[in-house]
Structure 1
Amino acid sequence: MTPPPSASPLAALTGRLIVSCQAPPGDPMRHSDTLVRMARSAQAGGAAAVRVNEPEVVAATVAAVDVPVIGLWKDGDTGVYITPSVRHALALVDAGAAIVAADATGRPRPDGSTFADLVAAVHAAGAHVMADVATLDEGREAAAQGADLVSTTLSGYAPGSPRQTLPDLRLVTDLAGAVDVPVVAEGRVATPEQAAAALAAGASSVVVGTAITAPTALTRLFVAGLAS
């Protein structure tokens, strides 16, 4: 197994907030300059890192902020589509990502590689890997394959995980007791209280996206509330 690079960007995340600065296809916010400004605003507010989609946006964000950039590349919308191949992962490293986030579920990867292949390639290129998982077993396996962090990103969205409207704090606690790498709470964290609860449950850091950076989705919530 290729050893990971130095842990310097990981130490900066302990006990801190990571802000996911993304927008879905077709959303008015999905523009590189807008997303970079979003990342700069997150840094100004105290975020320890930002999570950014696609190499172009990663490169622009790296040039604009002084916090670690966690890069991912969503390619498609079914199966393994979060950084689905070694090629995607290395493109993110080339763009400047300090940490590459990738699907680490047990589902087959489109290029026939394994998650361990992706980890080895990213480590050899000098970056770290965040494993996006849905279950405890996936988190254990990802850590065993060399992931530097394990995140609950896919809980509730991938097969084998419970559908729920709240953060999966049980998975956070279970992972924290089962792996020797930092556990990141991500998914449906909607309030500062929920973020604090995630740290109390064993998370090393917390990712918040929609509740901070998605005005279209938040507007829809208010519109639906007024219509009910």
Structure 2
Amino acid sequence: MDTNKTILEMIKGKLVVSCQALPEEPLHSPFIMGRMSYAAYLGGASGIRANSVADIHEIKKSVDLPIIGIIKQVYDGSDVFITPTMKEVDALCQEGVDMIAMDATDRIRPDGSTISDVFPQIKKKYKNQLFMADCSTYEEAVTAVELGFDCVGTTLCGYTEATKDKSLPNFELAEKLVTTLSIPIIAEGGISTPEELKRLFDLGIYSAVVGSIITRPMEITKRFVKAIQ
């Protein structure tokens, strides 16, 4: 069986857990993310989404699950920071990640290009690599399909200027993508309860990524504290 098809089949109808901690967060450490991924695996996760080559390398030692890899890199003058340039794609491919997710919004990238400009070059260079399009709108998802992405995520809905007022998770967007697009739709962003997750799968999504509510104790604590202030 085709390796890429196998990877996609492994997360079909299943939960992917995002194990990430940014430098300013107390759990920022490849070792801790490795343990976090193992905990997610023991809990039944069928895939891991991870940030940085160091974290991914460590996570591979802990679990034998498909990994959706990203590199968050901020560049001056651009709002695009999830795997924004070929440099980050090169690093993830060199590490050997199962799937690479990248910002596929219509925003201008660090070098002044758009996703429509850069992705054909990336796909040509890495023909056999799986790519996930992190989108914020329906139109961006349509463009991602046309460009040849292997799956579309709702990852950036609510996190761009155009979608900042959207309530999350965006069930309406997920349903529209599922009913009109031909490639796997991965729900991601703002999924906070098992009930929300179940509703998204009932709408027909292929897979889902849940992060903060499982793996970011500082943010979870803040939510509880805010409720009683």
How high is the TM-score relative to the length of structure 1? 0.92
Question: Which of 60, 64, 67 lines up with 1:66 in the alignment?
Answer: 64
- Structure 1: distance between partners of 2:174 and 2:15: 15
2:220 maps to 1:222 = no
User: 1:106 — aligned with what?
Assistant: 106
**Correspondent of 2:179 among 171, 177, 180:** 177
SS of equivalent residue, structure 1 residue 12: helix
DSSP-derived class of the 2:180 partner? coil
Shift of 1:152: 0.1
What stretches of structure 1 of length at least 5 have no aligned partner?
none
How far does the alpha carbon of each residue in 1:11-68 deviate from its partner, in whole angstroms, 9 at most, with x for none?
1111100000011331110111001110111111111100000111111212321110
- Matched to 2:45, the amino acid is A
2: distance between equivalents of 1:97 and 1:167?
A: 27
Distance 1:83 1:144 in 2: 20
Identity %: 34
Equivalent residue runs for 1:15-26 within 5 Å: 15-26=13-24
Question: Structure 2 matches for 1:154-193, cutoff 5 A?
Answer: 154-161=156-163, 163-193=165-195
Structure 2 distance, partners of 1:166, 1:108, is 24
Query: Which has the larger helix fraction?
Result: 2
Aligned residues: 222
1:5·1:128 contact (CA, 8 Å) conserved in 2? no
Q: Deviations over 1:104-156 (max 9, x none)?
A: 0111222345233233333x3x3200100000010011011111110000001
- State how far apart, in whole Å, the 2-side matches of 1:42 and 1:49 are: 9
Q: 2:119 aligns with which of 101, 115, 119?
A: 115
Q: Provide the TM-score with structure 2 as the length reference.
A: 0.91
- Does the CA-based 8 Å contact 1:58-1:71 persist in structure 2? yes
